[in-house]
Amino acid sequence: MAHIKRLVLDVLKPHHPNVVALARLIADLDASYHVDITVQAVDEKTESVVIDLTGRGVDPEAVSATIESLGGSVHSIDQVEAEGAADRPAGPNNI
C-alpha cells in the first residue's frame, strides 16, 4: 500500500498550545516526522496555521486526532504527496 510522505494542512487553532508546542506534539507521533508550521493569520482567540508535515508513512488520522485533541480544527488538506510501496510486485496489470 502506498504511504504518504508529505501532508499540508490548513488548521485553525487556539493560541495555546502555541506553534512550538504543537510542532513538538505532532513530531512526537513518529521519529521520522519533520514538522513545519507557518502562522498565516492571528485573531483575538485563534490563529490560522499551515502545517507542512513530512515523514515515512504519515498517518493523517493520527495527526488530525492530535490537532483536534489540542483544540485545533483541520479546515482542509491542501497538499498530499504519496509514494508507492517498494515491495509491491511490478507488472503491467498493476495500477
Partner 1 sequence: MRLRDELRLLVRISRTAGIARRYFVTNGFDGALTMLGLLVGLRVAGPIDLSIALQACLGAAVALMMSGLSSAYVSESAERRRELRELEQAMVTDLTGSAHARAAVIIPWLVAAVNGMAPFLISLTILTPLWFAQLSSAHATHALDLSIGVAFVIMALLGVFLGRVSGTWWLWSAARTLAVGVITVALILLLKL
Q: Does 34 bind partner 1 (CB under 8 A)?
A: no
d(CA 66, CA 4): 17
Cell, residue 47: 490563529
Q: Which one of residues 39, 73, 77, 79 is an interface residue with partner 1 (CB under 8 A)?
A: 73
Radius of gyration of the chain (CA): 15
Q: Which one of residues 8, 50, 52, 71 is an interface residue with partner 1 (CB under 8 A)?
A: 71
Query: Smallest distance, Å, CB 14 to partner 1?
Result: 6
Cell, residue 24: 513538538
Q: Does 45 bind partner 1 (CB under 8 A)?
A: yes
Give which of 74, 83, 82 is closest to 12, Cα–Cα. Answer: 74
Write out the residues near partner 1 by the rule CB under 8 A: 12, 14, 16-17, 21, 43-46, 68-71, 73
